[in-house]
């Protein structure tokens, strides 16, 4: 795999630039539509990360690193888990059991929406971070 | 005969599982061992999905129809978790293989064994 | 507040782990891990007190009541194991600071402590949960972080040891997954209490049998029972010694807890031991384990490897106690889980002190160590006595109970073999003590004279653990009471 290609892959580069926004958008759709239809944090995270991985494959690892530095990824991985766990702690503060979303709002269904939303967002952020970190880790080896 | 054809899904599970185990035991290359392990785990996912299938059932999405036949969603959820675990296992294993290659210069089990045997204890 | 403690037990290390990643500073991530471990330990003690006073605690995660929801289920058995795991984690973590600072590069420390916290979280999760699939998930969390922890070892063979453990451990975990799948297919539930109620009436007893076999094999691999122990010696030898001390005290013990939970609570004693399924396999494996592995331990020149083989032998004692399947046999097994956890952790900590100062643990070259590291050597000798089972140590309490239990069942041969294997323990521990204390060094170079004791931050936790194990050795009835309660819980089934 050539991670630092020269100018010759023009077509690939142009197509990639066109595709990446749609991949990101689809990732967001899968993320935020997850509580109504098929989808959720895991899938969305992987789709979202795949956009960056594609960018890395075509434009080279260095340029992707400029967009998303490993430090940012480290915080993404940690904050996703914290968001998940924090939701659990908040439900406990509100007097419910761990991850009992019903207590989050005045009405149980409403609270469950909020809870699932926060938890899935946490999962999505972490999965994105982990997937891109894995890619960086393996791709930077010779 | 009906046992053979009617339960074809389970036969696939058995074949995949045995193939995975065989690769893990018979291949010396560490990457191939991990491929075997992934195959083995995949066969288990397939086993769960097979047992959740209801004849004529479709995706388990809530609708206002009392006669709506749907597959059991619980094993799907369990396997979603197990798939993530499997991915994590492969990632850790591959990372280890990279580091083994960097420090030993080989990822062949038999060569590794002879290198290790030559190193002193303690 | 207090009714949230079962959830907090898991959440505290789980929240602390990502905070460690964010902090990144070696010292502060250690502080973070230390605070979380101490909190988890305090929570587990309160839970144990509650269980001993009021009986079983149940906690429905997410507010979904069992059997449809995931339930945390705590009785005397797992409350005791929770205290063991979080206690050893807290004590060894104090010790780990200096030990890890020397053997792991500083920029990786925060990852080390993160992996440590995830491992604690996974182990506590396995113990606390009352849901069969949840056991698998937590098992993989703890295993994956364990592989990472082992690969932090200085020797490059730590990597291959970790890889072999990963392959075998994943196969074991996959077997457990298959077993749980078949149980679900046969009964339609994953809650342990519900499983226990539905298994006897299940229409597909063959699926239950298959589930039983797969679960047994999987758990036996994870707990390193004799013929399936191949991953353990190298993993214990080459891991950072703080990790070894932690794993030796907790990891195999937690797997043994899973074994107990499935054999006695889920399948029930009559199913597990009534059909001559297990009797022909488990007891011979356990007995062969403690005799052969003690024998192998005698011939090891690396102190860590010797203790690793001795660990496999001790697992043999524990499983032998379980496979008697009587009140006193189970009590002996459970007591030995706790006692051996403490003894082996303190032994490995002493070995770590030697490694810190001397730089190697090649037994024949440790001559005259008593002069140079008296405190470490005394701690090693006291814990070594515990391993042998000298009266007034914890080893005596558990071995005496085990022998009593086998005599009660009329199995004289087992009692005799336990004594034989204890004699071998005298040989392998005694050999080390003889070299340390009595053998004079042949060449008295300048480096081999003068005191060079390990730092206080390593000695204090070591002596805390030695002190606790001495206390429980002299006051054996304290642990025996908890273990007896746990055994009767297990034999009585889930309430």
Q: Tell me phi and psi for residue C72, to 5 degrees.
A: -90, 130
Chain A residues near residue C59 by CB distance under 8 angstroms: 97-98
What is chain A's mean pLDDT, rounded?
A: 87
Report which DSSP code applies to B29: B
CA distance C495 to C491: 11
How deeply is A16 buried, as exposed, middle or buried, from its count of CB atoms within 10 A (0-12, 13-18, 19+)? middle
Angle at Cα C65 formed by Cα C64 and Cα C69, nearest 5°?
60
Angle at Cα B41 formed by Cα B40 and Cα B47, nearest 5°?
95
Please indicate whether, in this complex, the C-beta atoms of A97 and C19 are within 8 angstroms of each other: no
Q: Which chains touch A (3 or more CB pairs under 8 A)?
A: B, C
Q: Where are the domains of chain A?
A: 10-139
CA distance A59 to C385: 64
Share of chain C above pLDDT 90, in %: 50
Higher-pLDDT residue of B6, A84: A84
What is chain C's mean pLDDT, rounded?
A: 89
pLDDT of residue A142: 66
Q: Band of the pLDDT at B43, cuts 50, 70, 90?
A: very high
Nearest to B96 by CA among A62, C305, C169, C311: C169
Higher-pLDDT residue of B47, A3: B47
Cβ atoms < 10 Å from Cβ of C197? 15
Whether A5 shows a pLDDT value over 70: the answer reads: no
> For chain B, how far is it from start to end, CA to CA, in angstroms?
60
CA distance C365 to C435: 8
pLDDT of residue C448: 53
- Tokens representing B15 are 């074949």
Please indicate whether, in this complex, the C-beta atoms of A42 and B80 are within 8 angstroms of each other: yes
Please indicate whether, in this complex, the C-beta atoms of C156 and B24 are within 8 angstroms of each other: no
Q: Band of the pLDDT at A1, cuts 50, 70, 90?
A: very low
Whether C62 shows a pLDDT value over 90: the answer reads: no
Q: What does the pLDDT look like over C145-155, one tens digit per residue?
A: 999 999 998 88
Chain B residues near residue C167 by CB distance under 8 angstroms: 24, 33-34, 37, 93
Given C181, C303, C361, which is nearest B51 (Cβ)?
C181
Q: What does the pLDDT look like over A98-128, one tens digit per residue?
A: 888 888 888 888 888 888 889 999 999 999 9
- Tokens representing C56 are 């079983």
- Flag the least confident range among A33-47, B74-88, B101-115, C441-455: C441-455
Average pLDDT of the segment spanning B34-43: 95
pLDDT of residue B122: 56
CA distance B58 to B39: 27
Average pLDDT of the segment spanning C198-215: 89
pLDDT of residue A22: 96
Complex prediction ipTM = 0.94
pLDDT of residue B5: 80
- Flag the least confident range among A37-51, B41-55, C116-130, C443-457: C443-457
Q: Does C124 touch chain A if contact means CB atoms closer than 8 Å?
A: no
Please indicate whether, in this complex, the C-beta atoms of A42 and B98 are within 8 angstroms of each other: no
C363 close to C431: Cβ distance less than 8 angstroms: yes
Whether B33 shows a pLDDT value over 70: the answer reads: yes
pLDDT of residue C52: 85
pTM: 0.93
Chain B residues near residue A39 by CB distance under 8 angstroms: none
- The top-level CATH class assigned to B2-55+68-118 is mainly alpha
Block residue for tokens 């400029």: A66
Q: What does the pLDDT look like over C265-324, one tens digit per residue?
A: 888 888 888 776 777 788 889 999 999 999 999 998 889 999 999 999 999 999 999 888
């Amino acid at each position: 795999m050539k991670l630092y290609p020269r100018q010759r892959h023009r077509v690939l580069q142009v197509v990639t630039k066109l595709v990446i926004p749609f991949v990101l958008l689809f990732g967001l759709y899968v993320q935020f539509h997850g509580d109504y239809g098929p989808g959720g944090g895991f899938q969305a995270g992987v789709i979202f990360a795949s956009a960056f991985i594609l960018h890395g494959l075509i434009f080279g690892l260095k340029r992707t690193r400029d967009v998303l530095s490993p430090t940012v990824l480290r915080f993404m991985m940690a904050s996703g888990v914290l968001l998940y766990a924090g939701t659990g702690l908040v439900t406990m503060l509100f007097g419910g059991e761990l991850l009992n979303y019903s207590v989050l709002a005045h009405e149980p269904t409403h609270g469950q929406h909020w809870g699932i939303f926060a938890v899935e967002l946490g999962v999505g952020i972490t999965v994105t971070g982990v997937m891109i970190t894995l890619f960086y880790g393996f791709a930077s080896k010779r | 005969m009906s046992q053979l054809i009617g339960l074809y899904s389970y036969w696939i599970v058995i074949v995949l599982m045995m193939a995975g185990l065989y690769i893990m035991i018979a291949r010396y290359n560490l990457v191939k061992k991990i491929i075997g392990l992934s195959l083995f785990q995949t066969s288990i996912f397939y086993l769960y999905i097979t047992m959740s299938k209801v004849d004529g059932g479709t995706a388990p999405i809530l609708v206002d129809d009392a006669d709506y036949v749907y597959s059991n969603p619980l094993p799907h959820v369990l396997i979603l978790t197990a798939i993530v675990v499997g991915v994590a296992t492969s990632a850790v294993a591959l990372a280890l293989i990279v580091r083994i290659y960097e420090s030993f210069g080989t990822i062949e089990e038999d060569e590794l064994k002879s290198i290790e045997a030559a190193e002193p204890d303690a | 507040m207090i009714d949230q403690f079962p959830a907090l037990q898991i959440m505290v290390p789980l929240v602390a782990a990502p905070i460690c990643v964010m902090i990144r500073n070696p010292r502060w991530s250690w502080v973070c891990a230390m605070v979380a471990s101490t909190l988890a330990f305090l929570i587990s003690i309160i839970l144990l007190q509650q269980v001993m006073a009021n009986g079983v605690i149940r906690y429905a995660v997410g507010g979904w009541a069992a059997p449809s929801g995931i339930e945390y289920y705590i009785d005397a058995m797992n409350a005791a194991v929770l205290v063991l795991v979080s206690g050893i984690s807290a004590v060894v973590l104090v010790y780990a600071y200096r030990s890890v600072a020397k053997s792991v590069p500083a920029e990786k420390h925060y990852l080390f402590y993160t992996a440590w916290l995830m491992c604690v979280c996974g182990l506590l999760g396995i113990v606390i949960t009352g849901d069969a699939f949840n056991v698998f998930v937590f098992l993989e969390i703890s295993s994956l972080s364990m592989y990472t922890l082992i690969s932090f070892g200085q020797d490059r063979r730590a990597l291959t040891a970790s890889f072999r453990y990963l392959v075998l451990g994943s196969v074991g975990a996959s077997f457990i997954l298959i077993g749980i799948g078949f149980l679900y297919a046969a009964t339609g539930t994953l809650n342990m209490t519900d499983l226990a109620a539905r298994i006897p009436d299940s229409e597909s007893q063959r699926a239950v049998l298959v589930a039983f076999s797969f679960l047994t094999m999987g758990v036996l691999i994870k707990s390193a029972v004799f013929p399936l122990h191949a991953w353990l010696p190298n993993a214990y030898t080459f891991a950072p010694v703080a990790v070894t001390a932690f794993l030796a005290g907790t990891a195999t013990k937690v797997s043994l807890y899973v074994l107990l939970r499935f054999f006695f609570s889920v399948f029930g004693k009559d199913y597990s031991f009534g059909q001559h399924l297990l009797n022909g396999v488990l007891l011979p494996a356990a007995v062969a384990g403690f005799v052969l592995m003690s024998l192998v331990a005698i011939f090891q020149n690396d102190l860590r490897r010797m203790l690793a083989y001795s660990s496999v032998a001790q697992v043999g004692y524990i499983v032998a106690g379980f496979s008697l399947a009587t009140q006193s046999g189970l009590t002996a097994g459970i007591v030995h889980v706790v006692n051996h956890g403490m003894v082996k952790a303190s032994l490995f900590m002493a070995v770590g002190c030697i490694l810190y100062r001397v730089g190697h643990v090649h037994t024949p070259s440790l001559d005259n160590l008593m002069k140079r590291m008296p405190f470490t050597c005394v701690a090693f000798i006291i814990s070594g006595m515990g391993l042998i089972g000298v009266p007034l140590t914890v080893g005596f309490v558990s071995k005496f109970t085990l022998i009593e239990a086998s005599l009660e069942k009329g199995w004289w041969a087992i009692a005799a073999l336990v004594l034989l294997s204890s004699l071998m323990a005298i040989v392998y521990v005694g050999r080390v003590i003889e070299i340390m204390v009595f053998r004079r060094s042949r060449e008295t170079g300048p480096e081999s004279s003068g005191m060079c004791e390990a730092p206080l931050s390593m000695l204090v936790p070591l002596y805390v653990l030695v002190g606790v194990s001495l206390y429980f050795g002299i006051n054996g009835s304290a642990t025996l009471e908890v273990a007896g309660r746990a055994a009767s819980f297990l034999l009585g089934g889930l309430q």
